[in-house]
Structure 1
Amino acid sequence: MKLFNHANRERTPETRRVYARFELVYTLVDFSAALCFTVGSVMFFSPAWEIPGVWFFTVGSLFFMAKPTLRLVREVKLYRMGKLERLANRAEDE
């Protein structure tokens, strides 16, 4: 079993549920990043709002940085779920 293997998310109802939850969080983070960048861009039209605009860009960047982290955490979790499943099956066979 490998990381980032599409079959990992389809093994059981539990893995499908985990994958769906991570996709929901991933989409919320993605939308939040886009919203921060849009608000930050609009704030740059006024010199008085440039500093808050910079903060919106910074927060948006952190959201964008969270996206690959979420994907990696999801894939490691699915991978480990598969390893536990194999261990349980092995224990049942003994």
Structure 2
Amino acid sequence: MAALFNHENRTRTAAHARTTTRYEIARTAIEFGAAIAFIIGSVFFFYDSLVYAGTWLFVIGSILFAVRPAVRLALEIRLVTLPDDIEQAGVLARLENGLAGDDAT
């Protein structure tokens, strides 16, 4: 079994690479969301009527920054649970699609 936070896990197989790409896209979207929330929240603090909304944008940005490492940990756990060889990957795909054991068709 592969170790957590081992950079080689990211490219171990094509499935590992695809998974890494998906999670990295999600992390990047979260980072942009957090940055935008903080920027807009900062601007809102210049206007008394928008301070309340600005505060909520800061809370949302903070939550997004807290989610970011959770996504990273989820990626690492997913990478170590993916099969390393093609035969295992095929069996796993059939199981995930509910096709294992349906040889009668």
Q: What is the TM-score normalised by the length of structure 2?
A: 0.78
CA deviations 1:33-77 (Å, max 9, x no partner) are 000000000000011110000000000011101100000000000
Q: Which residue of 2 aligns with 1:47?
A: 48
Q: Which residue of 2 aligns with 1:70?
A: 71
Question: How many residues were matched structurally?
Answer: 87
Q: Which runs of 4+ in 1 moved over 4 A?
A: none
Instruction: Establish whether residue 35 from structure 1 lines up as the match of residue 36 from structure 2.
Output: yes
* Cα distance in structure 2, aligned partners of 1:10 and 1:21: 13
3-state secondary structure, aligned to 1:35: helix
Matched with 1:22 is: 23
Pair 1:85 & 2:77 matched: no
- Structure 1, unaligned stretches of length 5 or more? 89-94
Question: Which residue of 2 is the match for residue 56 of structure 1?
Answer: 57
Task: Calculate the TM-score normalised by the size of structure 1.
Answer: 0.87
Percent of residue pairs identical = 38
- Residues in 1 aligned to 2:22 and 2:56: alpha-carbon distance in whole angstroms: 29
Report the Cα distance in structure 1 between the residues aligned to 2:36 and 2:66, rounded to whole angstroms: 15
Higher relative contact order (CA 8 A, sep 6+): 1
Structure 2: gaps of 5 or more residues = 89-105
Structure with higher Rg: it is 2
Aligned mates of 1:75, 1:85 — CA distance in 2: 14
Partner of 1:91: none
